[in-house]
Amino acid sequence: MKLEGKKVGFAMTGSFCTFKNTIPKIKDIINQGAEVVPIMSFNAYQTDTRFGNAQDFIDEIERITGKKIIHTIPDAEPIRS
């Protein structure tokens, strides 16, 4: 599937052990020409775990995508294709 010109919602939930592996995937999607809209669940956005600090993930994902992470229901409600 070609991603050039597509808008991709990339959602992260509570599988904290996979977070470090998701960063390269986000970069891959962007490198294929897609716009990535980052989304995190309530817990993913604010929970520090042995796998890393939430703020560190937030900062890196927002830097890579150039967008603020959607992490509240009111912010997510207007998402449209």
Question: Structurally, what CATH architecture does the domain formed by 7-76 represent?
Answer: 3-Layer(aba) Sandwich (3.40)
- Please, how many CA atoms are within 13 Å of residue 12, restricted to the half-sphere of its CB? 27
Q: What is the pLDDT of residue 81?
A: 58
- For residue 53, is pLDDT > 80? yes
- For residue 21, is pLDDT > 70? yes
- Mean pLDDT across 11-28: 94
Sign of CA dihedral 20, 31, 65, 41: negative
Per cent of the chain over pLDDT 70 is 98
